[in-house]
Amino acid sequence: MTIPTATEAEVAAGVHATVAAYAHALDAGRTDDLVGTFCPDGSAEISGMGTFHGHASIRDAYAALLPTHPQLHLVANTVISSWTEHEAAAVSNFTFLQRGESGWVVPVTGRYDDVFHKGDDGAWRIHSRTTSYVI
């Protein structure tokens, strides 16, 4: 029997850091940093846009979503539903805020359903993300 070397708290910290890095990169329009939160063979399914596989495809999808106004993705309630030393599944809620002429508005809220893999470098990355919206 192999004794795990990672604790649930360590897995949770890695997953939460990746979720936050993704949101910050998305809101700042840093597409390359956002793509770096995904595994090279990862996928992103975005409701209404399609499913994108691999870094090049994910980069193209998110390049089309560059912010035109200040925006914030507030991600909360991340719950890790299962984990091992090298893989974790989690669900998170998000609220998307965008600043317009009359102030901040909430055009959409939604949910991320994620699977994360831990790389050889110790970093957790998104292997698959399904984004769904609650309007």
**Considering only CA atoms, which of 2, 3, 15, 1 is closest in space to residue 83?**
15
**Given this model, what pLDDT does residue 112 score?**
98
How far is 39 from 60, CA to CA, in rounded Å?
A: 15
Q: What is the mean pLDDT of residues 30-37?
A: 98
Whether the Cβ atoms of residue 105 and residue 111 lie closer than 8 Å to each other: no
Tens digit of pLDDT for each residue in 37-74? 999 999 999 999 999 999 999 999 999 999 999 999 99
- Residue 128 falls within a domain, yes or no? yes
Domain extent at residue 76: 8-134
Tens digit of pLDDT for each residue in 74-133? 999 999 999 999 999 999 999 999 999 999 999 999 999 999 999 999 999 999 999 999
**Considering only CA atoms, which of 83, 97, 107 is closest in space to residue 5?**
83
- Residue 3 falls within a domain, yes or no? no
- Residue 18 falls within a domain, yes or no? yes
Where residue 29 sits, what CATH number does that domain have? 3.10.450.50
Please tell me the total count of domains within the chain: 1
Tens digit of pLDDT for each residue in 2-30? 555 789 999 999 999 999 999 999 999 99
**Given this model, what pLDDT does residue 109 score?**
97
- Residue 83 falls within a domain, yes or no? yes
**Given this model, what pLDDT does residue 2 score?**
54
**pTM recorded for the entire structure:** 0.93
How far is the CA of 107 from the CAs of 57, 80, 110, 133, in angstroms?
26, 27, 10, 10
**Given this model, what pLDDT does residue 45 score?**
98
Partners of residue 51 on adjacent β-strands: 45
- Residue 87 falls within a domain, yes or no? yes
Please say if the pLDDT value at position 135 is more than 80.
Answer: no
- Residue 68 falls within a domain, yes or no? yes
- Residue 1 falls within a domain, yes or no? no
